Chains A and B, each alone.
Chain A
Amino acid sequence: MRFEYFQMIDRIVALDLGTRTVRSVCSVPQESTIFEGHFPSYPLMPGVLLLECMAQTCGWLVTSLNGFTAMPFLAGVKEAKFRTAVHPGDHLEFEGKVVHEGSGYAVAECRGRRQEQAVCDAQITFRVMSFPSPEFRKALVEWAERIEVPVKALIK
């Protein structure tokens, strides 16, 4: 997890286009300026960043489903719940599922866990649009390769 680059997911460990599911893992950094403010003497991972973990997990699935031809942009969140405190050094796992692929949008559900303990869950809507530029797409593909998305097998 690289807070400073907003790259929340360390690795995609499973991705199944048939069942439209994905699983990712990440470790919360031991130190970050974020924890200096949130909160002094009680470092706590902000819920909005857990939400971003869920959005990125499902976002990788959405863009994999379309073969990296379009980019999912976060458009809406429903029923987000943050069920327990997450602290520096925690290891998290996220499981996402695309429940609907519409025309120009997708809806996914995601839940996060620490070992077997439920941490968070939400329903997330993405607007799916063309990449703003070829450079953007290239950067996204490189990012995907770094976190072990099987890009070569997916690209159309």
Chain B
Amino acid sequence: MSATFDKVADIIAETCDIPRENIKPESHAINDLEIDSLDFLDIAFAIDKTFGIKLPLEQWTQEVNDGKATTDQYFVLQNLSDQIDKLIAAKGA
């Protein structure tokens, strides 16, 4: 498991009061952990602050609505962590 995933899982556990052991890399934030869009705003805020990035939630939502992406690509936690790593790398480039 990546360090990024561990931080994301800690944020979700604290923000949504979900037992940490229930949060796995393969967990889908919406379908498995039942995190709603309002709680996800708090998670996004914590992720943005922790990693110094801006999760492109509007772009992701648009891509899903347009059928160009699936929610799995952004909301399965390992994929979310990979997206965060890409944003961190892009920031430093």
Please give the residue numbers on chain A whose beta carbons come within 8 Å of chain B beta carbons, in ascending order: 75-76, 100-105, 107, 125, 127
Which residues of chain A come closer than 8 Å to B49, judged between CB atoms? 100
Which residues of chain B come closer than 8 Å to A76, judged between CB atoms? 38, 41-42
Which residues of chain B come closer than 8 Å to A104, judged between CB atoms? 57-58, 61
Tell me the complex Cα distance, A127–B57, Å. 12
B interface bracket (residues with beta carbon within 8 Å of A): 10 to 19
Tell me the complex Cα distance, A65–B92, Å. 26
Shortest C-beta distance, A123 to chain B (Å), equals 10
Which residues of chain B come closer than 8 Å to A107, judged between CB atoms? 45
Tell me the interface secondary structure of chain A in the complex: strand
B7 at interface (Cβ–Cβ under 8 A)?
A: no
B26 at interface (Cβ–Cβ under 8 A)?
A: no
Among B42, B55, B58, point to the contact of A125 (Cβ < 8 A): B42
Which residues of chain A come closer than 8 Å to B77, judged between CB atoms? none
Tell me the complex Cα distance, A127–B56, Å. 14
B38–A103 contact, CB under 8 A?
A: no
1/0 per position for B39-83, CB-CB distance to A under 8 A?
Answer: 001101100110000111111010000000000000000000000
Nearest A residue to B55 by beta-carbon distance?
A103
B45–A102 contact, CB under 8 A?
A: yes
Nearest B residue to A126 by beta-carbon distance?
B41
Which residues of chain B come closer than 8 Å to A75, judged between CB atoms? 38, 41
Shortest C-beta distance, B14 to chain A (Å), equals 13
Shortest C-beta distance, B31 to chain A (Å), equals 21
Tell me the complex Cα distance, A143–B61, Å. 31
Shortest C-beta distance, B60 to chain A (Å), equals 8
Tell me the complex Cα distance, A101–B56, Å. 11
Among B41, B54, B59, point to the contact of A127 (Cβ < 8 A): B41
Which interface residue of B41, B48, B57 has the most chain A CB atoms within 10 A? B41
B61–A105 contact, CB under 8 A?
A: no
Tell me the complex Cα distance, A100–B42, Å. 12
A103–B42 contact, CB under 8 A?
A: no
